[in-house]
Amino acid sequence: MGFKAVIVGGGVGGLALANMLEQLEVEYVLLEAYGDFSPQAGASIGMLPNGLRILEQLGCRSGFSEGVDNFSDALVQRFAGGIEFNDRQVLLRALHANIKDKKRLLLGKKVIKVTTGEKSAVVETQDGDRYEGDVVIGLDGIWSTVRSEMRREAAEKSPGYFPDDEWKRVPIHCKCMFGISRPNKAIQPGTMTQVINRGFLYLVLGGPGGRVFFFLSEKLPKTLYGPETPRYSKEESVAFAEAHRQDVIIDDCTFGDIWDNVIAYSVTPLHEYAFDQWHYGRIITLGDAAHKRSLTAEHLPTYLTQVDPVAGQGGNAALESVAAFTNALMKRLDRLPADDPSAALPLADIEAILRETQATRHERARRIVRVSHEMQDAFAKTSWLGMQLTHLAPWIIDKESLLEKWAVNVTEAVKVERLPDRSLPHVVPFTTDLPAKPISPSSGLVKLERGLVGAALAALCWL
């Protein structure tokens, strides 16, 4: 089989795709710009049932989940997996350790140019090396070089394929500080605390070994857009934290107590987007290079903790996107003659793979971005009236209705079709567990109930 994939980016999505291709005996090379596959960036990551299922398929779940408390018994009962938070570094190490042939994982390979043609695609790196393959998968984050190069190629060969103002339309409503701190006796392992204030919110979690994972999200004075993306200096980040020092998180614990014991942290603007087009020629972008959403679980009051905990969906979404690509790829590779090791996929087949990948993932990615923004607006109110109505939410929206609404994001999840599904028995089936895709509920009662939930959230959004 004469096929080779070039993966750009060694984050969660890139390493997960490398695991998938290796286990399915597909040739690839992975190029990572930096000198370490698992840096400590001060970030935690929350894996949900959809992401945990894929980690289980890859054989990486135990490496991530060891010593981790589950934050949602309600989800475990339904999907055999709940919410598990750990250092992002731990997940990266688990994915990296699971790769058998590490010679395919290359560090210090900063991509500077990508070209796509009738026969192949070529990636050039800053050190002068060139890597040729049948397809290039850009998993290199929001500042994706692959996406920039894909747009350049399209502008030269197919003017108008991408809108000129794509980046200008990406909104930024909030900034977020995320970090990891040393243990605090008030924040016990396995606990999740949300704090809602006027214009800013917290999510604080007790993690493995007593470490404290925290998120502080604050609305910006005005909405910014892609070209206006701020970069926060160390001084600005420290000033942001100090301005919130006196905020009460829980009895006997202020944010200052957490901040004084910080191990690592970062401040970032929160972009919200799912680009209309993810691919061109033999190039596709996935993960944050194609879709990104704001943090959401920290935007929920405590009574919703068990219901709508979608922080960390970015990592879960990246896993699903690379699984969708792998599924589409394997269907086309099956058509190549087994007795001809040099047989290659024509450009038309590559383009079909990329179209199928986007078609599988695009609508769900857009929906998650939209719902995340709605929840953010609903629970990060800046007005006095909005704050008062937030306290009424438990009486307006019942837990089971929200859980049923949220479960759609899990049940429709993608898995790797060619790898064994090692999920434990669960009550609510994934769509992939069923012999056919179910018809969406359409009874008047269900529509009415969902309409009332949506109306309640919409009312909060507009105040």
pLDDT digits (tens, 9 = 90+) for 88-108: 999 999 999 999 999 999 999
- Please tell me which residue, 429 or 5, carries the higher pLDDT value: 5
Task: Determine contact, residues 116/135, Cβ cutoff 8 Å.
Answer: no
Check whether 314 has a pLDDT greater than 50.
yes
The whole-number average pLDDT for the span 283-301 is 69
The DSSP-derived string for 92-145 is: HHHHHHT-S-GGGEESS--EEEEEE-SS-EEEEETTS-EEEESEEEE---TT-H
Among 134-143, 281-290, 373-382, whose mean pLDDT is lowest? 373-382
CA distances from 460 to 24, 62, 84, 295 (A): 47, 40, 29, 18
Check whether 42 has a pLDDT greater than 80.
no
Measured distance CA(424)–CA(410) in Å, rounded:
15
Task: Determine contact, residues 245/257, Cβ cutoff 8 Å.
Answer: no
The whole-number average pLDDT for the span 186-204 is 90
SS3 category, 308: coil
Model pLDDT, residue 308: 36
The whole-number average pLDDT for the span 387-396 is 61
Model pLDDT, residue 439: 63
The token pair that represents 359 in the structure block: 């078609």
- How sure is the predictor about 197, in pLDDT bands with cuts at 50, 70 and 90? confident
Model pLDDT, residue 311: 42
Check whether 386 has a pLDDT greater than 80.
no
- Please tell me which residue, 463 or 222, carries the higher pLDDT value: 222
Q: First and final CA of the chain: distance in angstroms?
A: 58
CA distances from 62 to 25, 55, 404, 442 (A): 23, 9, 28, 39
The token pair that represents 190 in the structure block: 């396995």
Measured distance CA(80)–CA(267) in Å, rounded:
34
Helices 384-396 and 444-462 meet at what angle, rounded to 10? 160
The whole-number average pLDDT for the span 240-256 is 97
CATH code: domain 171-271 is 3.30.70
Task: Give the chain's mean pLDDT.
Answer: 85
The whole-number average pLDDT for the span 378-406 is 60
The DSSP-derived string for 444-462 is: HHHHHHHHHHHHHHHHHHH
The whole-number average pLDDT for the span 397-402 is 63
Helices 347-379 and 444-462 meet at what angle, rounded to 10? 70
Task: Determine contact, residues 140/318, Cβ cutoff 8 Å.
Answer: no
Percent of the chain having pLDDT more than 70? Answer: 78
Check whether 457 has a pLDDT greater than 80.
no
Model pLDDT, residue 428: 73
Model pLDDT, residue 340: 83
- Please tell me which residue, 249 or 460, carries the higher pLDDT value: 249
Model pLDDT, residue 310: 38
What are the φ and ψ backbone dihedral angles of 318, each rounded to 5 degrees? -65, -40
Check whether 444 has a pLDDT greater than 60.
no
- Please tell me which residue, 199 or 399, carries the higher pLDDT value: 199
> Which residues neighbour 151 within 8 Å (Cβ) at sequence distance 6 or greater?
162, 166, 280
- Please tell me which residue, 179 or 367, carries the higher pLDDT value: 179
Check whether 281 has a pLDDT greater than 90.
yes
Check whether 224 has a pLDDT greater than 60.
yes
- How sure is the predictor about 265, in pLDDT bands with cuts at 50, 70 and 90? very high
Percent of the chain having pLDDT more than 90? Answer: 60
Q: Sign of the C-alpha dihedral, residues 370, 429, 322, 333?
A: negative
Measured distance CA(45)–CA(318) in Å, rounded:
12
Model pLDDT, residue 407: 67
Residue ranges, comma separated, of all CATH 3.50.50.60 domains in the chain are 4-166+273-362
Model pLDDT, residue 1: 58
CATH architecture for the domain at 4-166+273-362: 3-Layer(bba) Sandwich (3.50)
* Each residue's pLDDT tens digit, 318-375: 999 999 999 999 999 999 988 888 889 999 999 999 999 999 998 887 777 666 666 6
pTM for the whole structure: 0.87
Residue ranges, comma separated, of all CATH 3.30.70 domains in the chain are 171-271
Helices 384-396 and 347-379 meet at what angle, rounded to 10? 110
Q: Residue 122: how many CA atoms within 13 Å on its side-chain side?
A: 8
